[in-house]
Amino acid sequence: MTNERIDLPQGTLDLLILKTLAVEPQHGWAISDRIQQISKVLQIQQGSLYPALHRLERRGWIKAEWGASENNRRAKYYALTKQGRKQLEIETNAWRKLTSAVDQVLNMV
Protein backbone atom coordinates (compact mmCIF):
# COMPACT_ATOMS: atom_id res chain seq x y z
CA MET A 1 0.00 0.00 0.00
CA THR A 2 2.72 2.52 0.94
CA ASN A 3 4.43 1.87 -2.37
CA GLU A 4 1.52 3.17 -4.33
CA ARG A 5 1.22 6.44 -2.45
CA ILE A 6 3.05 9.54 -3.71
CA ASP A 7 4.04 12.80 -2.00
CA LEU A 8 2.34 15.95 -3.12
CA PRO A 9 4.41 18.36 -5.28
CA GLN A 10 4.88 21.84 -3.82
CA GLY A 11 1.82 24.07 -4.11
CA THR A 12 -0.48 21.33 -5.37
CA LEU A 13 -2.30 21.16 -2.06
CA ASP A 14 -3.63 24.70 -2.63
CA LEU A 15 -5.00 23.65 -6.01
CA LEU A 16 -6.69 20.56 -4.56
CA ILE A 17 -8.29 22.59 -1.78
CA LEU A 18 -9.61 25.20 -4.19
CA LYS A 19 -10.97 22.50 -6.50
CA THR A 20 -12.69 20.70 -3.63
CA LEU A 21 -14.29 23.94 -2.43
CA ALA A 22 -15.47 24.74 -5.99
CA VAL A 23 -18.16 22.10 -5.54
CA GLU A 24 -19.56 23.39 -2.25
CA PRO A 25 -18.38 25.06 1.01
CA GLN A 26 -16.79 22.53 3.35
CA HIS A 27 -15.08 22.31 6.73
CA GLY A 28 -11.46 21.18 7.03
CA TRP A 29 -12.12 17.56 7.92
CA ALA A 30 -14.50 17.09 4.99
CA ILE A 31 -11.98 18.61 2.58
CA SER A 32 -9.29 16.23 3.74
CA ASP A 33 -11.70 13.28 3.65
CA ARG A 34 -12.87 14.17 0.13
CA ILE A 35 -9.33 14.44 -1.24
CA GLN A 36 -8.42 11.09 0.31
CA GLN A 37 -11.53 9.40 -1.06
CA ILE A 38 -11.12 10.63 -4.61
CA SER A 39 -7.47 9.90 -4.81
CA LYS A 40 -6.22 7.03 -2.72
CA VAL A 41 -2.65 7.49 -3.84
CA LEU A 42 -2.07 11.04 -2.53
CA GLN A 43 -0.25 11.13 0.76
CA ILE A 44 -1.42 14.13 2.79
CA GLN A 45 -0.60 14.57 6.40
CA GLN A 46 -3.93 15.78 7.70
CA GLY A 47 -2.46 18.52 9.89
CA SER A 48 -0.72 20.19 6.99
CA LEU A 49 -4.09 21.06 5.53
CA TYR A 50 -4.74 23.76 8.12
CA PRO A 51 -1.80 26.11 7.57
CA ALA A 52 -2.69 25.92 3.86
CA LEU A 53 -6.31 26.84 4.60
CA HIS A 54 -5.22 29.81 6.75
CA ARG A 55 -2.83 30.99 4.06
CA LEU A 56 -5.55 30.80 1.37
CA GLU A 57 -7.93 32.70 3.63
CA ARG A 58 -5.35 35.46 4.19
CA ARG A 59 -4.92 35.78 0.46
CA GLY A 60 -8.65 36.22 0.12
CA TRP A 61 -9.19 33.19 -2.12
CA ILE A 62 -11.40 31.44 0.38
CA LYS A 63 -13.45 32.79 3.22
CA ALA A 64 -14.38 31.10 6.50
CA GLU A 65 -17.61 31.05 8.42
CA TRP A 66 -18.68 29.15 11.48
CA GLY A 67 -21.68 26.91 10.94
CA ALA A 68 -23.34 23.71 12.14
CA SER A 69 -21.89 20.41 10.90
CA GLU A 70 -23.83 17.33 9.72
CA ASN A 71 -24.06 16.07 13.32
CA ASN A 72 -24.95 19.51 14.61
CA ARG A 73 -21.59 20.58 15.95
CA ARG A 74 -19.86 23.95 15.51
CA ALA A 75 -17.51 23.72 12.52
CA LYS A 76 -15.53 26.23 10.47
CA TYR A 77 -16.75 26.16 6.89
CA TYR A 78 -14.62 27.41 4.05
CA ALA A 79 -16.08 28.72 0.78
CA LEU A 80 -14.47 29.83 -2.46
CA THR A 81 -14.47 33.60 -3.07
CA LYS A 82 -14.79 35.23 -6.49
CA GLN A 83 -11.08 35.85 -6.45
CA GLY A 84 -10.50 32.22 -5.44
CA ARG A 85 -12.55 30.98 -8.37
CA LYS A 86 -10.36 33.03 -10.71
CA GLN A 87 -7.26 31.69 -9.01
CA LEU A 88 -8.53 28.11 -9.39
CA GLU A 89 -8.91 28.67 -13.12
CA ILE A 90 -5.41 30.13 -13.41
CA GLU A 91 -3.83 27.34 -11.44
CA THR A 92 -5.78 24.61 -13.25
CA ASN A 93 -4.59 25.96 -16.61
CA ALA A 94 -1.06 26.23 -15.36
CA TRP A 95 -1.23 22.65 -14.07
CA ARG A 96 -2.63 21.34 -17.39
CA LYS A 97 0.06 23.11 -19.35
CA LEU A 98 2.74 21.75 -17.07
CA THR A 99 1.54 18.16 -17.14
CA SER A 100 0.96 18.13 -20.92
CA ALA A 101 4.41 19.59 -21.47
CA VAL A 102 5.94 16.99 -19.19
CA ASP A 103 3.87 14.28 -20.96
CA GLN A 104 5.16 15.41 -24.32
CA VAL A 105 8.72 15.12 -23.15
CA LEU A 106 8.10 11.72 -21.62
CA ASN A 107 6.36 10.43 -24.77
CA MET A 108 9.13 11.54 -27.07
CA VAL A 109 11.12 8.37 -26.90
Partner 1 sequence: MLSDFLYRLRAVFKRSTVESELHDELQFHLERQVEKYKAAGASDEEARRRVRLEFGGMEQIKEQCREARGTHLFDDFRQDLRLALRMFRCSPGFTAIALAALAVGIGANTAVFSIVNGILLKSLPYKDPQQLVVMFEQLPNAPAKFGFSPPDFEIARETFKSYSGIAAYQGIGYEVSGVTQPMRVVGARVTADLFPVLGVAPHVGRWITSDDDKQGSHVVVLSHGLWARAFGQDPSVVGRAITLDRQPYTVIGVMPERFEFPPRGAVLNGEPAEVFVPMSFSQVEREGFGMRYNTTVVARLKPGVRFEQARAEATTIAQSLPERYPPVLRGFAGGIAIPMNPLTEETVGGSRRMLLVLMAAVAMVLLVGCADVANLILTQSLSRQRDLAIRSALGASPSRVIRQLLTEALMLSIAGSALGLLVAYSSMQSLLYLAGKTLPRTESIGFDYRVVLFTVILALITPVLFGAMPAIRTAFRMDGEALKERGRGATPGRAHGRLVGALVVAQVALALMLSVGAGLLARSFVRLLSTDPGFRSEQVASITLTLPSGRYTNGRQVRTFYEQAIEAAREIPGTILVAIGNDLPLGVRERRAFSSDANTRPIPDVSRLIAPTWISPGYFESLGIPLKRGRLFTDADRPDTPPVVIVNQKLAQMFWPGEDPIGHRIRWGIDIPQNQSPWMTIVGVVGDVKQAALDTPTLPQVYVAVFQEPPPMFGSGSGLLRTFNLIVRSSRTSASLIADLRGVVRHLDPALPVSKAQSLTDMISDSVKPQRFSMTVVMLFASIGLGLAAIGIYGVLAKVISQQSHEIGVRMALGATAGSLVWMVLRRALILMGIGVGTGAAGALALTRFMAGLLYEIQPTDAVTFFGAAVSLAALAVVVSLIPAWRATRIDPLIALRAE
Q: Which residues on adjacent β-strands are paired with residue 65?
A: 77
Nearer to partner 1, 66 or 109 (CB): 66
Q: Is 78 helix (H, G, I), strand (E, B) or coil?
A: strand
As measured in angstroms, the least distance from the Cβ of 91 to partner 1 is 18
State the pairing for strand pair 6-7/62-68.
unpaired
For residue 98, which amino acid is it? L
As measured in angstroms, the least distance from the Cβ of 63 to partner 1 is 9
Nearer to partner 1, 1 or 105 (CB): 1
Nearer to partner 1, 39 or 93 (CB): 39
Q: Under the rule (CB under 8 A), what is the footprint of partner 1?
A: 27-29, 32-33, 45-48, 50-52, 54-55, 57-60, 66, 69, 73-76
In sequence order, what DSSP letters do the residues of 49-70 get, joined into one string?
HHHHHHHHHHHTSEEEEEEE-T
As measured in angstroms, the least distance from the Cβ of 1 to partner 1 is 14
User: Of how many residues is the chain composed?
Assistant: 109
